[in-house]
Structure 1
Amino acid sequence: MKTTTKITAGAAAAVALAAAPGAIATGVQAYEGRSAADGTTSAQGSATQGSTGSTGSADAGSSADATQTPQWTRRNVGNGYGYESYGSGGTGTGSAGSSTGSGSSGVSQTADGSLVSGTPITSMKGVVLIDTVLDGGEGKGTGMVLTSDGEVLTNYHVVDGSTSITVTDTVSGKTYQASVVGHDETHDIAVLQLKDASGLATVNLSQTTAQVGAAVTAVGQGGGQGTLYQVSGTVSALGQSITAQDSSSASSAEKLTGLIQTTADVVPGYSGGPLLDTDGQVIGIDTAASSSGDIDGYAVPITEAKSIADQIVAGTRTATVHIGPRAALGVQVTDSGSSASGYGQGYGQSYGQGYGRGSGQSYGQGYDPQSGSTNSTTSTSGAAVAEVVSGSAAAKAGITAGSTITAVDGQSVASAAALSSELSDDYPGTSVKVTWTDASGTAHTATVTLGTSTVN
């Protein structure tokens, strides 16, 4: 199974928003690095929704051979304007590693470091630009109009962690505020509803499956520049499995299966856009791309995406389909003994002649958010609470900053990511039993009623 990069575009955020998409939804914020497939650790001191060249700070040192096994990521973090430039702890700064090696000739870099690919087009019927606001940052992606009254299909990672969503119809130029009707994180699908929309043109969905060797065109907001791009290619394989790793997430990597693989040079910002056949019908939804060497694009088959969208619109809850807003516990957490400001190794990838890699150490010790002092000790295993939202479920239960959450409903919680996982599928109003140890070492257990998350 390949490791891949999600292709949403975004600008740098002030802090890492969450340990996982579920963490965002549950109101659990985390600041934690994660081990990549090649053994490096990414730091989460700054984060974005998406992955175009971003404007945070990235730890990077020497460049490495671009022919290494590609590291893919959903969003960009850091200042290395790279296909997957991510990383720096809040205490680490640096610049992107120099770029060497050969890259895909179809990709270029704009003056602000964003990657673009293909040919710009003024508009396309049924295709919309999606702009999101995060906690201290922003993200950009693409979507497809399913109904004239404003149901829009996109990737969940395009809107994951957003606090507001603005959608622009590329034909009329009109903008709309949007809400998330529901999502399926497992298959990376979400449906949006545009406010006060009517008379919108819709995309044409194909009823047939893709064929290897067939010519295709990918369309999306390449580079997050507010402009549609289209890039051609061919279908190179079907039924592909990839692992999509989220640079702003400390959770385990997400596995996607049954994807269409193409030679189209899709870049950040194409996420959620259509993959078209020669008749202009949608056969897939652009979702991911390789990060080194010649680019391989990956798309969720439209038949699968539409089936999930239909479940969402019908309000059908399943083990993977979540309807409406997430639940919120109301805490910011990190792994016990680690830094709420970011730590670990930074990792950046930049573009010069082709694809290059750079990595560097940003922070190696624990950090005490209360005193500001560093230490190298390890405290109780669990999710360390850095901040509690006033009036939240956690606050009402008596959980305070400096506590460590160790279990939910009797299930042990060993990390911030584990807490996110335990809460990610819950709905507002759900009662859960939370066990924690306060700063003095005293253990507590209380049943809390989860609130409603303010982020998607």
Structure 2
Amino acid sequence: MGTQGSERRSGQQHSGQQHSRRRRSLWVAALLILGLGGLALAAPPLTPGTYPGTTESAPVTVITTAPPSPIVSLTPEELAARVIPSIVTITSSAGFTTTAGTGIVLSPDGVVVTNHHVISGGSEITATSMSTGLVYDVEVLGYDSGQDLAVLRLAGASNLPSATVGTAENATRGDPVTAIGNAEGEGVPLPAPGVITNLGVTVNTRNSTDGSRNQLKGLIEVDADIRPGDSGGPLVNAAGELIGISSAGNAIADRTETSPAPQSYAIPIDTALPVVDQVLSGLSSETVRVGPTPILGVAVKDHRDAPPGAEVVAVSFDSPAEKAGLTKGTVITEFGGTPITTSADLNSAMSSRKPGDAIDVKWIDAQGQPAAGSLVLDEGPPR
């Protein structure tokens, strides 16, 4: 954990756009959209870095009331000047893997919304303000992995420019939009203009890091070329109002005349704000995790034979599960007094728990014998 409220001057200059484009081919997309020609979610791995973690938490206030829209559309230069100061570039490190992404500032005291996949598994997360150049330690306030959303707080932040929040409810096909983010993961925000091509789209995704699959619904489809590092960044309308959060796209390093047309997706801001509000209210649910993430230290699958339960397929070294005596092949049948018949049951039972909770567990061991024990959940990275 890092020092509370710590911040450092960023040495990254914002004038490296040409260098960013030259290095575009170096990045690997972090998510693939299944069945759509290999569309890639833009949050590429970077060279691992070392940053302090996060510690403090304080009451926060989100500004969601947008000022009146300008009568005329903004020029590209005016739009960039309005939007870029309200974003942060994000670096999330997990062991030897580092992921880059973008976040949107929702309040002057540093509440930020981004994609869950940008920070998933991150043990050390920092954010650099495109307004001040300061680097902040990041606290993960909560997340909804199913909707690919995460709510962060920048430790010690104040007086940050925040996004002008609009709505996607009035969006229509053909509307001009612009995605802006940490293109190529080098800390250089670049606009990607386009138009809305579809609304209410459902896509299936696969995380290239851990192989997990997810289905995102109700997305805004655009022909803007969302690139590696843009994940979690703003999709704005012609007035510079935030209407979506970039989440996926078929990023190609060097497009040619034969390349497929840009096809990217954003989560409507109207979908994201209820998750933000729930996280800030402090109320966890089966889908929304608030506060630190507890870990048991097992990977499980449904046990198809009798008895039903969550079958352990892997156990982490020195984890609560290992200390309690759980091994590969164990079938968990009860967790904290709740019967477990599927792996989903175990995930649901974990959703209401927090690090430090003492849990009674019952299981059938690999030899078919019933067993029971107690364990204390550890704190782990967001998952």
How far off its partner does 1:188 sit?
1.2
Matched, 1:427 2:353: yes
Contact kept? 1:437, 1:444, Cα under 8 Å? yes
Matched, 1:53 2:15: no
1:27-83 Cα deviation digits (max 9, x unpaired)? xxxxxxxxxxxxxxxxxxxxxxxx97249xxxxxxxxxxxx852346588999xxxx
Gaps of 5+ in 2: 1-24, 30-34, 47-75, 252-258, 303-309
How far off its partner does 1:421 sit?
4.2
Residues 1:442 and 1:408: Cα distance change in structure 2 (over 3 Å): closer
1:220-278 Cα deviation digits (max 9, x unpaired)? 11111221111100001111111111123344x21111111100010221111000111
Q: Which amino acid aligns with 1:443?
A: Q
CA distance in 1, matches of 2:249, 2:41: 10
Residues 223-242 of structure 1 aligned to structure 2 (within 5 Å): 223-242=184-203
1:129-178 Cα deviation digits (max 9, x unpaired)? 00011122111000011111111111111111100110000111001001
Q: Write 1 or 2 for the structure with the bigger share of helix.
A: 2
Q: Which amino acid aligns with 2:107?
A: T
Q: Which amino acid aligns with 1:394?
A: A
Residues 1:127 and 1:69: Cα distance change in structure 2 (over 3 Å): closer
Residues 1:408 and 1:72: Cα distance change in structure 2 (over 3 Å): farther
Matched, 1:393 2:320: yes
Match of 2:99 among 118, 134, 139: 139
Number of positions where the alignment pairs a residue of Structure 1 with one of Structure 2:
301
Q: Which amino acid aligns with 1:407?
A: I
Cα root mean square deviation, aligned: 3.3
How far off its partner does 1:442 sit?
5.9
Contact kept? 2:237, 2:243, Cα under 8 Å? yes
Give the secondary-structure state (helix, strand or coil) at the position aligned to 1:261: strand
CA distance in 1, matches of 2:312, 2:44: 23
Matched, 1:327 2:294: yes
Give the secondary-structure state (helix, strand or coil) at the position aligned to 1:133: strand
Q: Which amino acid aligns with 2:102?
A: T
CA distance in 1, matches of 2:167, 2:324: 51
**For residue 159 of structure 2, what is the aligned residue in structure 1?**
199
Residues 1:408 and 1:160: Cα distance change in structure 2 (over 3 Å): farther
**For residue 266 of structure 1, what is the aligned residue in structure 2?**
226
CA distance in 1, matches of 2:245, 2:351: 24
How far off its partner does 1:407 sit?
2.5
CA distance in 2, matches of 1:53, 1:385: 30
1:193-227 Cα deviation digits (max 9, x unpaired)? 11111111111101452221100000011111221
**For residue 356 of structure 1, what is the aligned residue in structure 2?**
none
Gaps of 5+ in 1: 1-50, 56-67, 80-117, 337-380
CA distance in 2, matches of 1:77, 1:135: 15
Residues 1:435 and 1:72: Cα distance change in structure 2 (over 3 Å): farther
Residues 1:130 and 1:172: Cα distance change in structure 2 (over 3 Å): same
Contact kept? 1:72, 1:245, Cα under 8 Å? no
**For residue 345 of structure 1, what is the aligned residue in structure 2?**
none
Moved over 6 A (4+): 75-79, 417-420
Residues 1:329 and 1:319: Cα distance change in structure 2 (over 3 Å): closer
Matched, 1:384 2:313: yes
Match of 2:183 among 212, 215, 222: 222
How far off its partner does 1:393 sit?
2.1
Residues 1:432 and 1:234: Cα distance change in structure 2 (over 3 Å): farther
TM-score (norm 2): 0.70
Residues 1:54 and 1:436: Cα distance change in structure 2 (over 3 Å): farther
Residues 1:407 and 1:430: Cα distance change in structure 2 (over 3 Å): same
1:269-318 Cα deviation digits (max 9, x unpaired)? 11110001111111100011136722211111112211210111111223
**For residue 446 of structure 1, what is the aligned residue in structure 2?**
372
Residues 177-326 of structure 1 aligned to structure 2 (within 5 Å): 177-207=137-167, 209=169, 210-251=171-212, 253-290=213-250, 293-326=260-293
Give the secondary-structure state (helix, strand or coil) at the position aligned to 1:139: strand
**For residue 381 of structure 2, what is the aligned residue in structure 1?**
455
Residues 24-43 of structure 1 aligned to structure 2 (within 5 Å): none
Q: Which amino acid aligns with 1:395?
A: E
Residues 1:282 and 1:454: Cα distance change in structure 2 (over 3 Å): same
CA distance in 2, matches of 1:76, 1:229: 15
How far off its partner does 1:327 sit?
1.6
Give the secondary-structure state (helix, strand or coil) at the position aligned to 2:330: strand
Contact kept? 1:206, 1:282, Cα under 8 Å? yes
| % same residue | 29
Residues 1:432 and 1:277: Cα distance change in structure 2 (over 3 Å): farther
Moved more, 279-288 or 442-451: 442-451
Contact kept? 2:94, 2:122, Cα under 8 Å? yes
CA distance in 1, matches of 2:349, 2:39: 26
